[in-house]
Amino acid sequence: MAEMIALVGPPGRGKSTSIFPNKELNITGLDLKKTLIINVSGKSLSMRGWKKVFTDKPIKEGGNYIVSHDSELICNILKYIEKDRLDIENIIIEDAQYLMGFAVMEKAKQTGWDKWNIIGDIGFKPIDVAKDLKRDNLFIWFIYHEEKSDDGEVKIKTAGRMIDNTITLEGLFNTILFANMEFDALTKKPNYFYITNADGKTKARSKYGTFKSLRIPNDLGLVKEAIRQYNIGE
């Protein structure tokens, strides 16, 4: 089975930065030659020279970058990558919360309860497709903003309470990492990290024993290797 990982946090907490190798920041990152990015919001990527690495030519012609908030198209891309682009091992769905957010704006003038079911389905479908992918070396990374839930903990941002009452996105992921940052008074530099399990403040989760501590560096290379080792029992 493919692995699905949710990376959650407010803007500026190192989620996107954790994707890309960076010697200065001591980030291993992912193998970019094996990575495809689906950019939902369309904002520029957080890597110097990213346009030299990611090309928006058609996926069937070797492209590895697409800007789209079309949920159906994203589902079709996931299915195509699984079977026909075996060179791709990492699929990043950047700013995934905007699948629902843009749908809310597009349907702002519509009335009735049904539109919220449609909006919820738009955000849910790519997750539903990803969880059924069979290629076990495929990692799908969903990047979300965060919001506070009714119980006071921080959760994946959705389009509202009506959707939360129908779909609990956290229940669809085995691994949910929450990005955060603390300022180091000695070095006068920010320290970015991921929270790996519930800490009373976030709805982070991971399989017991996958990670050695509650906080880990914001480095998806390390995250991927830890999950790989857990799965094969190393």
The model's pTM: 0.94
pLDDT(66) > 90: yes
pLDDT at 21: 96
Task: Summarize pLDDT for 82-138 with one digit per residue, the tens.
Answer: 999 999 999 999 999 999 999 999 887 887 778 888 888 999 999 999 999 999 999
Q: At residue 81, does pLDDT exceed 90?
A: yes
In DSSP terms, 92 is beta-bridged to 37, 141
> What's the CATH code of the domain at 74?
3.40.50
Q: How many independent structural domains does the chain possess?
A: 1
Per-residue CA distances from 146 to 15, 108, 167, 209 (Å): 12, 22, 16, 25
> Could you read off the pLDDT of 162-204 as tens digits, one per residue?
778 888 899 999 999 999 999 888 888 889 999 999 999 999 9
Cβ partners under 8 Å of residue 88, min gap 6: 34, 35, 36, 64, 81, 138
Q: What is the reported pLDDT for 229?
A: 96
Assign 205 to helix, strand or coil.
strand
Outline where DSSP puts E strands in the chain: 3-8, 35-39, 65-67, 90-94, 139-144, 146-148, 154-156, 175-184, 189-195, 215-217
Per the CB < 8 A criterion, the answer to whether 129 and 4 are in contact is no
Count Cα neighbours of 33 within 13 Å in the Cβ-side half-sphere: 0
Per-residue pLDDT tens digits for 130-161: 999 999 999 999 999 999 988 889 999 998 77
Of 49, 131, 44, 59, the closest CA to residue 95 belongs to 44
Q: Which domain holds residue 114?
A: 3-232
